[in-house]
Structure 1
Amino acid sequence: MAAAVTVPSDLMHPVVEQAVQGYAVNWLLKIELESDQLKDIEPCRKILAERGFSPLLSKTASSAMPSLHFKIAGTKLYEQADADADEALAAVMHANCPAALTWTVESTYRPRTR
């Protein structure tokens, strides 16, 4: 039996306690790719740009990848769960860029407008 796979929209659900207090939740999806070769991640950068993620390119090093390498990070804000988030991640994964791919969904709270 295959394990269930979590997709971004699985995490984009309102927090009842915050809604009761008058706050709405926005969701920030961040997709990152890291590689030793810039050309390896260029096709995925294009996909992120086409989908409105405003990808940023940087040279970086980290404890997980201590040698100097390239990183592309794109973010997009969603007001609610959206299949577009899942489709964007699937498009990047389908491109098979030879890079380390990570993604996160973060909640951001704002007062509800009346």
Structure 2
Amino acid sequence: MLRHIASALLLSAPLMAAAATVPSDLMRPVPEQAVQGYAVNWLLKIELESEQLKDIEPCRKILAERGFSPLLSKTASSSAPLLHFKIAGAKQYEQADEDADAALAAVQHAACPATLTWTVESRHRPQAR
């Protein structure tokens, strides 16, 4: 199964102003694949990382309210040995949806002092006949 992955890293409001891509821009079917009988579901993943749990709690609530089922994890690695917290949530869409853009905008508007990363992945499936 082919997978098309697109993502963006948003660290601050000025960077967001320069980056015009929103999730729904990436949720477009590839015509060549549609002709071959493939349909696509889209998975929007939103992640926030911070050294302080209280910094990302408001954004966790926003993700939960919007159906993203956010999961909290404590993380440390060789590249980032200090303990930090990560909240990750995902929601599936059957087609380009402005709700995906609104969810991302709500998290950005909350301005949680954290690193925000979002990714859109395609999930191909045969079309029902």
TM-score (structure 2 length as normaliser)? 0.82
> Do residues 104 (structure 1) and 119 (structure 2) align?
yes
Summarize the alignment of residues 1-114 of structure 1 with structure 2, pairs less than 5 Å apart. 3=18, 5-62=20-77, 65-114=80-129
Q: After TM superposition, where is structure 1 displaced by more than 4 Å over at least 4 residues in a row? A: none
Distance in structure 2 (CA, Å) of the matches to 1:98 and 1:55? 17
5+ residue gaps, structure 2: 1-16
Q: RMSD of the TM alignment (CA)?
A: 1.4
Q: Which amino acid aligns with 1:81?
A: A
Aligned pair in 2 of structure 1 residues 101, 79: CA closer, same or farther (>3 Å)?
A: same
CA deviations over 1:48-107 (Å, ceiling 9, x no partner): 000000000001134664322100000000110000000000000000101110001011
Percent identity among equivalent residues? 84
Matched position secondary structure for 1:97: coil
5+ residue gaps, structure 1: none
Distance in structure 2 (CA, Å) of the matches to 1:65 and 1:26? 33
